[in-house]
Structure 1
Amino acid sequence: MTTEAPVAPGRIVLLTASHRVAPGLLSWPAWQTLHAADQVLCSDDGHPQLPYLREAGIGVEIAAPSAQELVEACAGARTVVVLPSGEGDQALTDGLARLAGSGRVQMPDLELLPGSYDLPGARLLDLVQVMDRIRLECPWSSRQTHKGLAKYGIEEAYELVEAIEDGDRDELREELGDVLLQVVFHARIAQEGREEDGAEPFSIDDVAATIVEKLIHRHPHVFGDESAETPEEVKAHWLRTKAIEKQRDSVTDGVPLGQPGLALAAKLASRVRTAGLDVRLPAGDGIGYELLALAIRAEAEGADPEAALRAAARAYRDAIRAVEGQV
């Protein structure tokens, strides 16, 4: 009496690829597996990888097999690669799990093969895509302008500073996201170039390219031939290259007058000290001139008068709450 040899169960490969990486940029193991496969299946005839697979001579069958059909397709030690499409993939994987758990089916080897991975910063692409859609479809977002959003940028910046001062890392992460949203939102509006007649459009890529170029140029000790061993030398590089770039007529050029008063006074004092100018404080009576003198003294001593006043104000707030609790 003879017995039939068991049929080899074969192999199912679920090939994943990040939508944040350009289609066709697959890992070498992914290409090897695709070329060696007995069958490649994809349920989505618009899958972004299909043109590149076909160009590489890989035949792809557009089909959405059930879990049972997929297992049967692997009989005889066959390898079947499935390109997940995001639509119906959960049903397939759940079906395979049920078959494996039933104990009634000889299951093929099941492998999840990442064909590409997200690069650092890849989720920023998601943010850009979400912002594009919100700008087009949201009744509120679609009507916003740079001027209309300006106040939110200030608010989010202050909330970020508060999270830093509180030492709350969860809040810090959220507030950084809110500040980032303002950058992406403004860049999305600028991309349309419709807020002002004749305005030259620019995109978030232009914004990123500008700051990348600036960072490289102002860090010759990192990207060039100069050297810097101390933070002071780095700051000197920064100020020197910045001065060459801006070609300002006055050390006060570029200092935003709309910032809080103590910060404004400290910034002006910093510019004066860095330039080696001998500038007398303006004579005048009143609390404003006293605060000016205090801010300049604080800057000279290496303290941030704005942060110092906020810390004192927070202590004052706590004292108020303590008294309220007593009442």
Structure 2
Amino acid sequence: MTAVVVTCPRRGAALPAAALPALRAADRVLAVPGLDAGAAAGAQDWDGTDPGGLPDGTVLLVPAGHPAATATGAVPPPAGHGVLDAVAVMDRLRSPGGCPWDAEQTHESLLRYLVEECYELYQSIEDGDRTELREELGDVLLQVLFHARVAAEHADAPFGIDEVATGLVDKLVGRHPHVFPAGDDAGEEVRTAADQDRRWDELKRAEKQRESSLDGVAAAQPAVALAAKLASRTAKAGLPADLLPGGEETGEHLFRVAAAAQLGGGDPEAALRTAARAFDARVRAAEKAAAAAGKAPHALTAEDWRAFWDTP
């Protein structure tokens, strides 16, 4: 039987570990002509013969996307190979001879794109659009790769995508001792999501050694989300609810509403967005109904708005 091994696109030298037994036992290794030299080293060019008709003991190397890559029993490239491709592309764009625009960017110049892409991802989730969700996840990933590549060029404290990923892995493993026990110590038993949420906070406090219950709260987040986060953090710290802002200023009133929603188990940011988008849809529907009746949407009177407001 012929073993088909799918190589990583643009990173042909990276072969899946699962293919090693077949490669070691192979009588002959064939490769699609033009395959990356790193993966095809020592392989003979494949003449296109049906893989099912090749002699037993043959290993066929094909790139992802090749028709033979879907053969029964084909060894796929390792999970995450696409991320390696994305890292390589980002590196090429940022390197000499790459893209002038990419080469000029800084952490600061990229800030607005980071925020925009996160909101676009948020909207794709709200809309339930799977195609947009996949694309927007890629755009957010680009921001991570871009910032990591810029960080690698820092004169005094450089770090790259590997350090970013390693830090993330260490954090996830360290905060899930019930999943990744260190030696014989599995840590406190975690049975529910609530248990893990509490345990996460405990481990985070011990790890960060923060002086305040509010340390680590991102002040740059949207105001409603910020108020909700502050209310949540202080509630966990035992702050009585009557000590939350209680004045009559607009900001204090909004803070109380956001805090009440958060402490009641809701998400005030999401709730406000839902209400805002529903209002947006209703305004557009009224304008559309007015236009169908021959009235220009930009010239509607208060009476017109009321007349078309509840029009299906």
TM-score by length of 2: 0.75
Quick one: which amino acid aligns to residue 160 of structure 2? S
Q: Which residue number corresponds to residue 14 of structure 2?
A: 22
Contact 2:25 2:57 (8 Å CA) reproduced: no
- 2:173 partner amino acid: I
Kept after mapping to 1: 8 A contact 2:3/2:74 = no
Asked whether the equivalents of residues 44 and 85 of structure 1 are also in contact (C-alpha less than 8 Å), the reply is: no
Task: Give me the whole-angstrom Cα distance separating, in 2, the residues matched to 1:41 and 1:324.
Answer: 61
Distance 1:23 1:192, change over 3 A: same
How far did 1:114 drift?
Answer: 8.2
Question: Higher relative contact order at CA 8 Å, sep ≥6: structure 1 or structure 2?
Answer: 1
Q: Distance in 2 between matches of 1:219 and 1:276?
A: 25
- Cα distance in structure 2, aligned partners of 1:82 and 1:222: 37
Write the distance in 2 (CA, Å) between the matches of 1:45 and 1:18.
9
**What's the CA shift string for 1:156-175, capped at 9, x where partnerless?**
11111111111111111111
2:135 to 167, 171, 174: 174
Aligned-residue offset at 1:49: 4.2
**Equivalent position to 1:277, from 231, 235, 239:** 239
Aligned-pair CA distance for 1:46: 7.8
Please name the residue that 1:312 is paired with: 275
- 1:309–1:80: structure 2 CA closer, same or farther, 3 Å change rule? closer
Name which of 234, 238, 260 aligns with 1:297. 260
Instruction: Percent identity, please.
Output: 42
Letter in 1 for 2:76: Y
| Preserved contact between residue 30 and residue 115 of structure 1 (Cα < 8 Å) | no
Q: Partners in 2 of 1:41 and 1:296 — Cα distance? A: 62
Residue in structure 2 matched with residue 144 of structure 1 by the alignment: 105
Partner of 1:120: 79
Q: What secondary structure sits across from 2:100 in the alignment?
A: coil
**Secondary structure, counterpart of 1:158 in structure 2:** helix
Q: Deviations over 1:31-69 (max 9, x none)?
A: 3333xx4x9789679822466x5xxxxxx67xx6978xx
2:251 aligned to 283, 288, 310, which one?
A: 288
| More moved, 15-24 vs 130-139 | 15-24
Taking the aligned partners of 2:271 and 2:35, their CA distance within structure 1 comes to 62
Structure 1 residue 189, shift from structure 2 partner: 1.2
User: Is 1:253 aligned to residue 215 of structure 2?
Assistant: yes
Could you tell me whether the CA contact under 8 Å between 1:30 and 1:114 is conserved in 2?
A: no
Do residues 264 (structure 1) and 226 (structure 2) align? yes
Q: Distance in 2 between matches of 1:42 and 1:326?
A: 60
Cα separation, 2, equivalents of 1:65 and 1:245: 55
- Tell me which of 216, 230, 243 is aligned to 2:205: 243
What count of residue pairs does the alignment treat as equivalent?
272
2:159 matched residue in structure 1: 202
Higher mean C-alpha deviation, range 14-23 or range 217-226: 14-23
RMSD over equivalenced CA pairs, Å: 3.4
User: Residue 18 of structure 1 contacts residue 117 of structure 1 at CA under 8 Å; is this kept in 2?
Assistant: yes
Structure 2, unmatched stretches of 5+, are 291-312
The answer for the alignment partner of 1:109 in structure 2 is: none
Q: Which amino acid aligns with 1:297?
A: A
1:170 and 1:143, CA in 2 relative to 1: closer, same or farther beyond 3 A? same
Q: What are the within-5 Å matches in structure 2 for residues 44-63 of structure 1?
A: 47-49=37-39
Looking at structure 2, the residues matched to 317 and 145 of structure 1 have their Cα atoms a distance apart, in angstroms, of: 35
* CA drift at 1:176: 0.8
Letter in 2 for 1:290: H
Deviation at 1:213, TM superposition (A): 0.5
Provide the residue aligned with 2:174 in structure 1.
217
Letter in 2 for 1:305: P
Letter in 2 for 1:48: G
- Partner of residue 299, structure 2: none
CA distance in 1, matches of 2:72, 2:257: 63
By how many angstroms is 1:223 displaced? Answer: 1.4
Check the 8 A contact 1:15/1:84 in 2, yes or no.
yes
Q: Which residue of 1 aligns with 2:150?
A: 189
Q: Compare 275-284 and 216-225 and name the one that shifted more.
A: 275-284
